[in-house]
Amino acid sequence: MAYNEAIMDHFSKPRNVGEIEDPDGVGEVGNPVCGDMMKFTIKVKDDRLDDVKFLTFGCGAAIAVSSKVSEMAKGKTLDEAMQITNKDVAEALGGLPGNKMHCSNLGADALHKAIEDYRERQK
């Protein structure tokens, strides 16, 4: 397999899989044509991410990225979570294969969308 141990670990034992009922924010990215889709749901408490869950349709890298982002974001303040970039996630996983950097590395985008959705709802 072309993936490193960290990716294989998150792929085979993904953290925070699921969909939060009655979420405070929802973020979706991707489509089946490109091969990857991610849906993040969040719970916010005192401006912090109290819970983060994801659903992902996609390849090994997409699943590992989703899992890693959820782990990195949980417990962070919203502003801190907004600072997480796709590049940070790839680095935290010890690097993604070059051809997977664009299509599968959308986890942070999906998380940011969920936070933006939450902020929109607060207005």
Partner 1 sequence: MRAINLDYGAATPVDPAVLQAMEPFFAEHYGNPTSVHDLGERPRLALAEAREKVAGLLGAGPEEIIFTSSASEANNMVLKGFAAAHRSKGKHIISSVIDHFSVLNPLRTLEKEGFTVTLLPVDHHGLVDPEQLLQAITGETILISIQAANPEIGTLQPLAQLTAVAREKGIPFHTDATAAVGFVPLNVQETGVDLLTLAGDQFYGPKGSAALCMRRGTRLLPLLEGGIQEKGRRAGTENVPAIVGLGMAADLAREMLAERSSRLSILRDSLQKNLFAAVPHLHLNGHPHLRLPHNLHISVEFVEGEALLMHLNMAGIYVSSGSTCTSQALKSSHVLQAVGLIPELAQGSLLFTLGTGSEAQDAPYVAEQLSRIAAQLRRMSPLYQKYLKEGDR
Surface-to-core class of residue 57, CB atoms within 10 Å of its CB (0-12 exposed, 13-18 middle, 19+ buried): middle
* Residues in 93-122 at the binding interface with partner 1, rule: CB under 8 A: 99-100, 103-104
Region near partner 1 per CB under 8 A, out of 9-17, 71-79, 88-96, 113-121: 9-17
Does residue 33 touch partner 1 according to CB under 8 A?
Answer: yes
User: Does 34 qualify as catalytic in the annotation?
Assistant: yes
Q: How far apart, in whole angstroms, are the C-alpha atoms of residue 40 and residue 70?
A: 8
Q: How far is the CB of 39 from partner 1 (least distance, A)?
A: 4
Region near partner 1 per CB under 8 A, out of 43-51, 61-69, 86-94, 113-121: 61-69
Which candidate in 76, 103, 116, 119 is catalytic? 103
Short-list 48, 58, 65, CA closest to 109: 65
With b for 16 or more beta-carbon neighbours within 10 A and e for fewer, the 93-110 pattern comes to beebeeebeeebbbbbbb
Region near partner 1 per CB under 8 A, out of 57-65, 75-83, 87-95, 111-119: 57-65
Catalytic sites, residue numbers: 34, 103
